[in-house]
Amino acid sequence: MTDAALSGRTRTEVDRIQDSYMAQVRRRRMYGGLTLAIFVLLMVSGFVVADGRNAGGFWDGWRQMLDFPADVLSEAWEKRANLPGLLVRYFPALIETINIAAASTLIGAIFGLVLSLLSTRGLARWPRLIPLFRRFMDILRAVPEIVIALVLIFILGGGPVPAMIAIALHTAGALGKLYSEVAENADLKPVEGLASTGATWSQRMWLGVLPQVAPNFLSYTLLRFEINIRASAILGFVGAGGIGFELRNAMAWGPGRFDEAAAIFLLLFGTIVFFDQISSRYRNKLTEGT
């Protein structure tokens, strides 16, 4: 190749660069190999431990994995004439589930917004309290919403309100974290400009930060709304009402009411697809700026 011949530099210097780079490559490959080995080891050992603690054992059980869906599907197919009626019957329960999700997303987003601004470096009202607000959000995220819901249902009795509070608390923690990462990248110049006019902290946030981050915030909120629909359906299982409650009843009875279970699955699937489509369309609109 002619590539080497044209250099003004001496051959030895290029050799030196090549050797030192090769040494670097060898070191990097060794690290890469080690990481891969550790990963494989963890996967294998984790699998062996999990399989040992399983009651049935993975190797015997995995063939039956499709049995339950097959049962549900075959029964639902036999009684497919009932399906339209069942869809109509469970529609109100679906609305209740969506309602829980919407209310909790809204409340959670408002609290998340405040928490995020309070815990973002450069924006926080009380910079020294940032760790406090951060840990508070960590706690909100760490406790599973099903645990909060169970406690609240024990205190307040079953119904949609405990589920809403439980999901809202988790949403506040999760959205607060996401919001704060967006707000960290916000341009501080407008904030400084507003501060120079004597604006209060809330005015600076509302007028200087929010317009910059609103599209991203909204897109995260819509994503959270989708997640919350699933969460509120699950909370129905523990007595919070809505479509999850009906689904548990239909499935707990075992064969005989699987047509109802199938109808509910269909409703849930349709809802998720519907809101996924709507929110992705809006998110695209927001990020592209239309």
The residue ranges that bind another protein (CB under 8 A) are 1-4, 6-9, 13-14, 17-18, 20-22, 24-25, 28-29, 32, 36
Q: What residues contact 160, with CB distance under 8 A and at least 6 apart?
A: 96, 99, 100, 240, 241, 242
| 9 vs 63 by CB, closer to another protein | 9
Residue placing its CB nearer to another protein in the complex, 6 or 155:
6
In the complex with another protein, the residue whose CB is nearer, 19 or 187, is: 19
DSSP of 24-50: HHHHHHHHHHHHHHHHHHHHHHHHHHH
Closest to another protein by CB, 18 or 54: 18
Q: Which is nearer to another protein, 3 or 60 (CB)?
A: 3
Q: Least Å distance between CB 1 and another protein?
A: 7
Taking the complex as a whole, the smallest distance from the CB of residue 18 to another protein amounts, in Å, to 5
Q: Taking CA 126 as the corner, what is the angle to CA 115 and CA 109, rounded to the nearest 5 degrees?
A: 10
Whether the Cβ atoms of residue 88 and residue 151 lie closer than 8 Å to each other: no
Q: Which residues of 203-212 are buried (b: 16+ CB within 10 A; e: fewer)?
A: ebbeebbeeb
Shortest reach from residue 37's CB to another protein, in Å: 12
CB of 39 to another protein, least distance (A): 12
Residues 6+ apart with CB under 8 A from 99: 160
Give min distance, CB of 21 to another protein, in A: 5
Q: Tokens 């199938």, residue?
A: 262
